[in-house]
Every structure is written in C-alpha cells, then in structure tokens.
C-alpha cells in the first residue's frame, strides 16, 4: 500500500508515467463558432470533428477541447462543484507572451502573475469562463504548492 502524500509533497516529474493522462476538456458554451475561434487561436488547435452543436479541437500533446453549444441561456456557476477552469502549458516563454497578447487584444486578459519560477496568464473565454496558460508547465517544473487562484471563490 502506497503511503498518502503529505501537504506540500510533490512527485518528481516522470515518476508516474504509468497512470492515465488528461485527454480532453469538455466546455459547454453559448456560441459554438465564437468559442471555437477563441480556443483554436489561443491554444493553437484545429477542428478535427464538427457536428451541428459540438466540435472537437485537437492540438499538440494529444490533448483536445470538446465544445458543446447549449445556447444563449446557458449558465456556469463558479465556485460550485465540478471543474472550474482549465490550465494550459505554453510551449516556451514566447508562446506564453503570444497567449497574453491574444487575450489583451480581445479585452479578455485578467492578470499575469509569476510565483516560484512559473508565470500564469489568466483570461476569460467568450462566455466569461476562466482560462489560464502557464510557463513552465508541470512537465518541466512540478507544481510545488497550491496555486492561490484555487482559493479565489
């Protein structure tokens, strides 16, 4: 039996290669085309499957975003049970700067913070949902503490 990790423990990167990895994030949106443009441009993803009310965007690293249109009256309660937001890892510092510029150009940038050698750019998607891009990501520098953003609600 594996001992429970204590607070502050970080598993060294690369030691848990045998477990499942996140394959997709599903986001319910109001306007499919507007959200598809936002996520594909920000995350450099391409539409690989599209139906009338849903599509799949795929990018590098075998990750994907599934967007499902639920209409203009759809709601998402931040601070409620369930996934709150996605955190993406930029390829390099220039890619992180590109993401920050993209969000600023669309008045979707919230803030940029640096802590313990990691920079996080936070923005909002077209429906106001939080989207974060960080560099370096956990594949290069494991998260050594809980991000303060987790306690924002």
Q: What is the pLDDT of residues 128-146, one digit of tens each?
A: 888 999 998 766 655 566 6
Residue 153 has pLDDT above 80, yes or no: no
In a domain, 2, yes or no: no
* CA gap 47, 111 in Å, rounded: 28
Kindly compute the dihedral angle of the four CA atoms of residues 130, 132, 138, 142, in this order, to the nearest 10 degrees.
-70
- The percent of residues in the chain predicted with pLDDT above 70, rounded, is 71
User: Is the same domain home to 67 and 89?
Assistant: no
In a domain, 52, yes or no: yes
What's the pLDDT band for 3 if we cut at 50, 70, 90?
Answer: very low
* CA gap 114, 116 in Å, rounded: 7
User: Is the same domain home to 65 and 89?
Assistant: no
What's the pLDDT band for 147 if we cut at 50, 70, 90?
Answer: low
User: Is the same domain home to 91 and 145?
Assistant: yes
Please, which residues have CB within 8 angstroms of residue 41's CB and are 6 or more apart in sequence? 102
User: Is the same domain home to 143 and 94?
Assistant: yes
Question: What CATH number is associated with residue 94?
Answer: 3.10.180.10
pLDDT at 118: 87
User: Is the same domain home to 151 and 91?
Assistant: yes
Q: What is the mean pLDDT of the chain?
A: 80
In a domain, 94, yes or no: yes
Mean pLDDT lowest for which of 4-13, 19-28, 48-57, 109-118? 4-13
In a domain, 7, yes or no: no
pLDDT at 11: 45
In a domain, 129, yes or no: yes
Choice between 96 and 85, residue whose per-residue pLDDT is larger = 96
Instruction: For 88-132, write each residue's pLDDT tens digit.
Output: 889 899 999 999 999 999 999 999 998 878 899 999 999 988 899
pLDDT at 105: 97
Choice between 59 and 100, residue whose per-residue pLDDT is larger = 100
In a domain, 16, yes or no: no
Question: What CATH number is associated with residue 40?
Answer: 3.30.720.120
User: Is the same domain home to 103 and 146?
Assistant: yes
As for how many domains the chain has, the answer is: 2
In a domain, 97, yes or no: yes
Report, in angstroms and rounded to the nearest whole number, the Rg of the chain calculated over CA atoms: 16
User: Is the same domain home to 59 and 111?
Assistant: no
Range of the domain at 152: 85-153
In a domain, 1, yes or no: no
Distance of CA 13 to the CA centre of its chain: 19
């Amino acid at each position: 039996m594996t001992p429970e990790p204590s607070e502050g423990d970080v598993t060294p990167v690369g030691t848990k290669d045998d477990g499942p990895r996140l394959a997709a994030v599903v986001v319910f949106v109001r306007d499919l085309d507007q959200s598809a443009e936002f996520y594909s441009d920000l995350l450099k993803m391409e539409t690989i499957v599209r139906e009338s009310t849903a599509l799949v965007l795929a990018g590098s690293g075998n990750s994907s975003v599934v967007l499902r249109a639920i209409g203009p009256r759809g709601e998402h309660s931040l601070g409620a049970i369930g996934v709150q937001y996605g955190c993406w890892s930029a390829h390099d510092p220039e890619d992180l700067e590109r993401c920050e510029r993209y969000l600023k150009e669309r008045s979707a940038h919230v803030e940029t913070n640096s802590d313990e050698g990691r920079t996080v750019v936070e923005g909002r998607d077209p429906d106001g949902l939080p989207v974060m891009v960080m560099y370096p990501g956990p594949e290069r520098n494991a998260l050594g503490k809980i991000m303060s953003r987790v306690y924002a609600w």
